[in-house]
Amino acid sequence: MLALLGGAPEVTAAHPHNDLCAFSPQDREIITAHLEAGGTTSYYGRDGELREFEDELAEFFGRRHCVAVNSGTNALHSAFFGIGLQPGDEVIVPTYTFLATVSPLFSLRAVPVLADCESDTGNIDPEDIRRHITPRTRAIVVTHQFGHPVEMDAVLDIAREHGLKVVEDASLAFGATYKDRRVGSLGHVAAFSLGSTKMVSGGQGGALVTDDPEVMERANLLGHFVRRSDTEVSSDFYRPFITTGYGHNYRMHALAVAMARGRLHRLDDLIAARHERLTRLSSGLSGNPFLAPPVTRPYVHRGQWGGYTATFDPEAAGVGIDTFVAALAAEGLEVAARGYHPLLHRAEFFRTADDGYYPGQPWHEKRLYDDGDLPRSEWHADRQIAFPIFLDEPVELVDAYARAVHKVAGHIEELRAAEAADSTAQ
């Protein structure tokens, strides 16, 4: 019997099942070693382990420059500022992404133009990017959603044709490859999070990589102290401004540097552990009539695989996604309906011009959206069930998740009857 209807749950392991915010034993060792060696609390210049870490990241992505910062959000802000976006510039962005892919544009008053996604991968659809280009378009931002690389050949062709900059948000795709090219090395600049839920995590952190020295200098001036700008900013134009910089403190904490660097050194093992578990989950789910594992195209590798959603078929199941997820949750699974985050065009910020950013001054240039405006993203997101991104959990737990999904599917008639009785009672 389904646990939702009084039966025993399939998964009895204690929660949380996948605590991405926990320090690993290796993190503890690294942090302790830093403290015992009398390590610093903060790198004001591009010094010490920070320099080594940035050099390693630049080399990993095959880029000339890396600037580490204190979050992925601020890496994106630095990237957007770095490419010189100005008020009124239009930037084509996905609606199906984490909010920080887009929100740093607000403070630059650059106008986000939300684009639809491919219905299978959930990634921004190059054809929809084309439809949104206007004379004011300056850049395209892509998120390699849950590690699956965006169709970059098509995106880069569009960017070349129209003279646009491409910013990659590689936060969920560290180590991913597209046609044997590393994600994060494909656009003009790539930004990524080194935050708590990421594979190369410092708890908090982020970085950008680029070949463009102007982006690097502007990122330094935006978020770093004069001591760092003194060694990094040498161009005639920007050099005079190193004393004040451009106003923010985006320095990455020294312990976060040490921890993230340690994880970078263990990246292959971490990726292997996650792939073992998530491919096992996909095999376990295959053949389920109502829940299909994510699609991975043959010429990509998902790298860190920073999210796992499976596609629910409400028509075949004859129940809504909330009912199905409630049944899975009752079986002991940590799952969420409609993916990890809401679509951006459903957020209030994109529904009203009077957004409170500058009180009393509605932002009339901003694009506003309604339900139905980005139909494939709505179709896709409304069918996604988000799972934990298992890393070092026992594979038996992963197998138990797959079994629980099959159990719920096997009792679908009872679930339909329960849903119908519920709606009659309301």
Ligand X SMILES: Cc1ncc(COP(=O)(O)O)c(C=O)c1O
97 touches ligand X (CB under 6 A): yes
171 touches ligand X (CB under 6 A): yes
Between 73 and 220, CB nearer to ligand X: 73
The SS3 of residue 187 is coil
95 touches ligand X (CB under 6 A): no
Of residues 288 through 317, those in contact with ligand X by CB under 6 A are: none
Between 71 and 288, CB nearer to ligand X: 71
- Minimum Å gap between C-beta 114 and ligand X is 15
Sheet holding 291-292, edge to edge: 291-292, 308-312, 384-387, 336-337
Which residues make beta-bridge pairs with 137?
90
Nearest CA to 106 out of 94, 123, 89 is that of 89
Between 149 and 195, CB nearer to ligand X: 195
The SS3 of residue 203 is coil
Structure tokens at 281: 């989950």
168 touches ligand X (CB under 6 A): no
Between 309 and 323, CB nearer to ligand X: 309
Between 193 and 309, CB nearer to ligand X: 193
223 touches ligand X (CB under 6 A): no
- Minimum Å gap between C-beta 63 and ligand X is 19
Between 171 and 377, CB nearer to ligand X: 171
Q: Which span (129-137, 164-172, 295-303, 393-401) binds ligand X, by CB under 6 A?
A: 164-172
- Minimum Å gap between C-beta 58 and ligand X is 19
71 touches ligand X (CB under 6 A): yes
Q: Which span (53-61, 97-105, 285-293, 418-426) binds ligand X, by CB under 6 A?
A: 97-105
Nearest CA to 127 out of 119, 169, 135, 190 is that of 119
Nearest CA to 43 out of 260, 259, 257 is that of 257
101 touches ligand X (CB under 6 A): yes
Between 100 and 258, CB nearer to ligand X: 100
The DSSP letter of residue 253 is: B
Residue choice 147, 175, 206, 303 for contact with ligand X (CB under 6 A):
206
**CA 92 – CA 69 distance, rounded (Å):** 24
- Minimum Å gap between C-beta 306 and ligand X is 7
Per 3-state DSSP, the chain is made up of helix, strand and coil in percentages (nearest 5) of: 40, 15, 45
Sheet holding 177-178, edge to edge: 181-182, 177-178, 300-301
The DSSP letter of residue 58 is: H
Nearest CA to 9 out of 17, 1, 18 is that of 1
x/- site string to ligand X, residues 174 to 193, per CB under 6 A? -------------------x
201 touches ligand X (CB under 6 A): no
Amino acid identity, position 342: P
- Minimum Å gap between C-beta 98 and ligand X is 4
Q: Are 120 and 362 in contact (CB under 8 A)?
A: no
Structure tokens at 103: 């929100």
Give the footprint of ligand X on this chain (CB under 6 A): 71-73, 97-98, 100-101, 143, 169, 171-172, 193, 195, 206
